[in-house]
Structure 1
Amino acid sequence: MNDHYLKKLDRVTAILTQLQSKPVVKAQDLAKKFEVSVRTIYRDVKTLENAGIPIVGEAGSGYSLMDGYKLPPVMFTKEEVLSFITAEKLMQKFSHQSMGKHYQTAMEKVRSVLKYSDKNLIQNIEKQIDIFQHQGKTEDTLKDVLPTILESIAEKLQLTIEYRTVDDKISTRTIEAVGVFFEFNFWYIMAFCTLRNDFRQFRVDRILKIFKTQNPYLQEYGQINDYRKNGNGNKITVKLLVDKKIMGHLVNSKIYYGLIEEVETENGVELTFETEWLKDGFPRWLITFADYATILEPESLKDRLKDLLKDISDKHQ
């Protein structure tokens, strides 16, 4: 069998996997994924149909497997099996506790369809991989909170939550969740808050009660990153001059706090931010490297930093 037919066999098998994993698959998306022409995808789909696979749909509208049709378990390559082991280790350390048990049962199903040799491979290698986490996991008040949030997003139904704020105040909110994200060791919801009529972030471990309503979303939303970047629009420009030797420690956090420009000068690196957190978030972050930074603007940030430092000094006298 020559190289051309081997590539086609691999591609046709991969297309079948795509059909098993998605409700509808478009020829244009498959062509882009496998870097071939749309016409080639049409021929590959015809090959599957000739092999007796009941494919519903046609060119231009997308393809799917006939409802109820079952296929034998997919066989995994050795490289894919090794990637599962690594992913499982990562999930054990970093997954949200409400999702961990579901991932564990999913992995048990994956293991059940592995070849005997691959099961031995897992047994031999899984104790040789570990992930070291230096921060402790947060504990949630509720069980299955993240699945509830994800279900509401999928079904486009509003959530009602009882939420404990950073200053220990309890409030009840009705929200329309856009998405969830993990950052700085915490899970967050990005959502439209009907009380504030604006987008807000809610830390998942501060949710005391949650239930999914039957009220549909009042509007359509884009991707989660669109809202994380845009915020509520009340941003202030901040300019800092930072010592070059500290820059390596700010790689991830500077993006989080709104970095929009970075210019290297003779005296250091000039960083420009747009931030909404001038009262607390930004100055508290700045304290962590304030001895290596000079505030160029605004003056209000200098005053706020002085007030914070005075409060710290007074507290520890």
Structure 2
Amino acid sequence: MSSDSQCGNLDNPDTLTGLRVASVFIILLCGTSGALFPVLAKKSSWLHVPKMVFEFAKYFGSGVIIATAFIHLLSPGLDELSSVCLSPAWQEYPYALALCLLSIMSIFILELVAFRWGTARLQRLNMTHDPHGHHVGSHAAHGPESTPEVPSTKFADKESQSIHEPDDVDDAAAAAQIIGVAILEFGVLLHSVLIGLTLAVDEAFKVLFVVIIFHQTFEGLGLGSRLAFIKLPPRYNYVPIAAAFIYGISTPIGIAVGLGIRSTYNPGSTTASIVSGVLDSLSAGILIYTGLVELLAHEFLFNKETINSSNGKLAYALGTMLFGCGIMALLGKWA
């Protein structure tokens, strides 16, 4: 049977129903644990997780996010928007790449606007910013850094002699970081829901199930390691935890929806190919920009601690990042 004749057909297997239902809870546990562990470990005073573990998770996670963008999002987007089930007009232009480019430019413009707004706000408060983007106005996922210049703009604690910034600066920083989390998580969530839908109806369920367990755990670790290092006022401490839980339930929701509509949902149909292709391509752009600019550039090129570190420490960071990237790229062979 040709590929064209498959486009309108619905042939979702009605097998392994019990295991498919169990996969909702198994992947919920794995994905949530991967995303939540770095966040809770960072906040906890009794776990005493070594700094090296956090550094491993951070660099490993950066590699995972970049590989996810290219292998698990952009590549499927190209396949879906060039499907033979679509009209010939879809074959005349690389729409997946154009949508990815649109996404990258949109995030860049958003970052630029946030940079200008944040810089102006800091100047009004007599504070400086790092020209590489480490400032309160940035929505960088790794967290803002600000440098006080004028003591009169701070409130000193007489007992501890510690310096605290005004509430409005904290609010600006919190808003900037929450935007950063939302952008990073949005790209990951769309992909997670779509692979949940696919898992619910895929004929090769067993292989895909095992791969997605590792996929969601590693991706959760990558996201969680970024969430763990953002700096928010105490009243916003729930944000990283909530973001980790939202990630954890995304794929199970996709699986549950897929199981519910498996009698009518055709992942190879024209509509499904267009929707999946568009979402995958846009998500790829988000993660490409976030991974290359906010993670790699800020962690390696513009991070003074990394630049001034020993060759061994730098090699460890690069090796860990490449290891995460390689493992996630390898998983793309099956999912």
TM over 0.5: no
> If the length of structure 2 is used for normalisation, what is the TM-score?
0.21
Return the structure number with greater relative CO, CA threshold 8 A, min gap 6. 2
The answer to which structure has the higher helix fraction is 2
